[in-house]
């Protein structure tokens, strides 16, 4: 095993909505971990990468302060913590790419019977939130004078308790709002999980591993919706069939005899029954669609 300072530290949420997705994604990249007894560190068995299991709120600072090299966290947390980090010279990390999970939006919601014509109706109101930083920036940007009240959780009960006129909270399905007779009236931001990287230069050895893991992550994300499609077709229908293949670049064409060819293609979008029916109508036969497990460009 490599000495500690040569090992990459990646911060992941210890227990919450991002945990399973994050670990699943890393396992798909070929990383194998042993979880330590105190469950704060997962040691990478087959690569010099260790996971630090922490609260999601701590991840931006851990990466900004170069305690971790990489982190997986929601953009909502990055933006909220970024507001606080601005006072200390700003966050010193970059968002590398979005990971297509943990989708949600930070929305302002009102009790069902509150008339709401637009954000000017927030003027002189009281808004309960756990996202004081993002909300303050939003109100300033829109020239709205409103009072923010910090709630660390259960924000949705604030209007019923008479503590606020509106709330500003994360929404995914909307069922929490509905259960509390609240309706979303304005979206402040959209969010999903992203991977972040420290701005501190890494040693060459570490940088090579970071590049490798980022490339694998990108590969895993690209193949999520991808399918490998195989079919036979008359040579004369080749052009029309190529146009029908969803999100495919250059298909591989293999001659079968003078008139017929086999076509193999990676489609970067899901292949629906309608697409197969259209391909069949265009002359294709022996259609086979397979999931793609790994791809390296």
Residues of this chain that interact with Zn ion (CB under 5 A) are: 56-57
In the range 175-204, which residues lie near ligand PRT by CB under 6 A? 175-176, 191
Q: How many residues bind ligand PRT (CB under 6 A)?
A: 21
Cβ proximity to Zn ion, 57 vs 249, nearer residue: 57
Length in residues, the chain: 297
Binder among 35, 120, 124, 172 for ligand PRT (CB under 6 A): 172
Residue with tokens 């991977």: 195
Give the Cβ contact number of residue 61 at 10 Å: 20
User: Rule CB under 6 A: is residue 234 a binding residue for ligand PRT?
Assistant: no
The two tokens of residue 154 are 């259960």
In the range 130-169, which residues lie near ligand PRT by CB under 6 A? 169
- Binding track over 44-63 against ligand PRT, x by CB under 6 A: -----------xxx------
Q: How far apart, in Å, are the Cα atoms of 234 and each of 237, 241, 247, 258?
A: 5, 10, 22, 9
Instruction: Judge contact between 148 and 124, C-beta under 8 A.
Output: no
| Measured distance CA(119)–CA(139) in Å, rounded | 9
The two tokens of residue 5 are 């300072």
Smallest gap from residue 90 Cβ to ligand PRT (A): 21
For residue 109, give the nearest of 91, 123, 127, 94 by alpha carbon. 127
Smallest gap from residue 129 Cβ to ligand PRT (A): 10
- Binding track over 61-90 against ligand PRT, x by CB under 6 A: -------------x-xx-------------
User: Rule CB under 6 A: is residue 16 a binding residue for ligand PRT?
Assistant: yes
The entry of Zn ion, ligand PRT, none near residue 174 (CB within 5 to 8 angstroms by kind) is: ligand PRT
Q: Is 182 exposed, middle or buried (0-12, 13-18, 19+ CB in 10 A)?
A: buried
Binding site for ligand PRT (CB under 6 A): 13, 16-18, 55-57, 74, 76-77, 102, 104, 169-176, 191
């Amino acid at each position: 095993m490599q000495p500690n300072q040569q090992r990459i530290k990646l911060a992941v949420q210890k227990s919450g909505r991002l945990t399973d997705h994050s670990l699943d994604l890393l396992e798909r990249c070929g990383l194998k971990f042993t979880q330590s007894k105190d469950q704060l560190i997962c040691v990478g068995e087959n690569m010099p990468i260790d996971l630090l299991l922490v609260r999601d709120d701590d991840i931006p600072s851990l990466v900004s302060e170069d305690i971790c090299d990489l982190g997986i966290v929601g953009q909502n947390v990055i933006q909220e913590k970024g507001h606080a980090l601005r006072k200390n010279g700003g966050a010193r990390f970059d968002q590398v790419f979005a990971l297509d999970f943990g989708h949600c939006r930070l929305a302002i919601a009102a009790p069902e019977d509150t008339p709401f014509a637009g954000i000017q109706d927030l003027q002189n109101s009281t808004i309960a939130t756990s996202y004081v930083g993002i909300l303050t920036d939003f109100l300033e940007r829109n020239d709205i004078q409103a009072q923010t009240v910090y709630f660390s959780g259960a924000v949705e009960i604030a209007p019923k308790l008479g503590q606020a006129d509106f709330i500003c909270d994360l929404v995914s399905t909307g069922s929490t709002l509905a259960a509390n007779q609240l309706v979303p009236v304005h979206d402040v931001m959209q969010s999903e999980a992203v991977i972040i990287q420290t701005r501190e230069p890494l040693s060459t050895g570490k940088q090579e591993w970071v590049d490798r893991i980022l490339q694998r992550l990108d590969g895993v994300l690209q193949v999520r919706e991808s399918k490998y499609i195989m079919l036979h077709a008359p040579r004369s229908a080749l052009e029309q069939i190529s146009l029908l293949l969803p999100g495919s670049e250059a298909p591989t064409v293999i001659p079968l005899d003078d008139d017929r060819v086999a076509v193999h293609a990676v489609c970067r979008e899901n292949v629906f029954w309608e697409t197969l029916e259209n391909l069949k109508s265009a002359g294709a036969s022996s259609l086979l669609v397979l999931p793609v497990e790994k791809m390296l460009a």
